[in-house]
Amino acid sequence: MLDVRRMQVLRAVISSGSITAAARNLGYTPSAISQQLSTLEREAGVELLERVGRGVRPTPAGSLLSEHAETLSTQLAKAEAALTELKEGRTGRLAIRYFATAGASLVPLAVAALRRDFPGVRLDLKLVEPDDSLPEIESGKADVAMIVLPSTTPRIKGAEYIHLLDDPYRAILPKNHRLARKRVLDLAELAEDPWVGVDGLPGACRDILLDACGAAGFAPNHVVESEDYQTAQGFVAAGLGVALIPELGLGAPHPGVAIRKVRRPDPVRSIHAAVAAHARDHPAVRRFLGAIREGARAA
């Protein structure tokens, strides 16, 4: 098999016209250059150079290998440049998983920041439920997953969990509710009300809501369930019950509801990014997470 480095030595000799000149240009001794050429001729099985006066000139085989050496050098330089861009985060693919309320309010601005600062990075964006994204990190399908992280969530080995923001829950009341004039409600004041369920499936968000109500001394009486926060606000506005909705999920508040802070306790979603081990130091990942935090502060 031909050695690429020896082919480049051959090219240097042909370009300079002599072994001595090539040795001087490459920083080798003439004898070292001669040894490299002798080995390359044995590998090729054909003579590559012939002497002309004090210099050398290539045989047809030597010219052929010299041309290929130039092509290989060009391709190698391109490969090294591409590798540098990949290591510096300017190219490659970044797979991000996010849940709906984060997607609506925070992810678009963060993606815009990535497009601006890392235009060569291809983004694989996918909307998933908050509890469904960790398996994609574990399987290697995703690099970053935005998750709601209660203390009971099992940790994936090798992943780093980075806190992004806290998303407090708000009480959603019909405009004519008896407590609508209060600025802050004790959660226990809603114990006897009918409730609009907003997180029907088991998971972190539902656990936060039920744990908060339990700490206030009651279990909410869900009379209707909603698949999304905007529909839940419509149910509340129609007088079907009250609800707790995280602030990121409020979107454009329904005109028929009153939104109030709650306390004793004040439930909060802790939103984290689970980052795969191989992506921890990726500059584009750091930029994405920084943009998420910037968006949360500006909201």
Shared domain for 256 and 274, answered yes or no, is: no
Shared domain for 160 and 276, answered yes or no, is: yes
Shared domain for 130 and 256, answered yes or no, is: no
Q: Tally the domains of the chain.
A: 3
Which residue stretches of the chain are H helix? 4-16, 19-26, 30-44, 60-87, 100-105, 107-117, 134-139, 204-215, 229-237, 283-298
Strand 243-246 to 160-174 pairing:
antiparallel
Taking the alpha carbons at both ends of the chain, their separation in whole angstroms is 62
Shared domain for 123 and 214, answered yes or no, is: no
CA distances from 77 to 70, 71, 72, 84 (A): 11, 10, 9, 11
Closest CA to 197 of 267, 237, 244: 244
CA distances from 254 to 90, 113, 185, 195 (A): 42, 30, 20, 17
Shared domain for 284 and 233, answered yes or no, is: no
Shared domain for 132 and 248, answered yes or no, is: no
Shared domain for 145 and 173, answered yes or no, is: no
Q: ω before 30 within 30° of 0 (cis)?
A: no
List residues bridging with 121 in a β-sheet.
92
- Within 13 Å, how many C-alpha atoms sit on residue 203's CB side? 16
> At 29, which CATH number?
1.10.10.10
Q: Please write the tens of the pLDDT for every residue from 96-152.
A: 999 988 888 899 999 999 999 999 889 999 998 877 788 889 888 999 999 987 656
List residues bridging with 194 in a β-sheet.
221
Shared domain for 156 and 174, answered yes or no, is: no
Domain boundary among 55, 88, 121: 88
CA distance 161 to 71: 46
Range of the structural domain that residue 196 is part of: 167-268
Is residue 228 within 8 Å of residue 152, measured between CB atoms?
no
Shared domain for 130 and 189, answered yes or no, is: no
Q: Please write the tens of the pLDDT for every residue from 221-257.
A: 999 999 889 999 999 999 999 999 999 999 889 999 9
Domain boundary among 37, 63, 88: 88
> At 281, which CATH number?
3.40.190.10
Shared domain for 280 and 249, answered yes or no, is: no
Q: Please write the tens of the pLDDT for every residue from 186-205.
A: 999 999 999 999 876 677 88
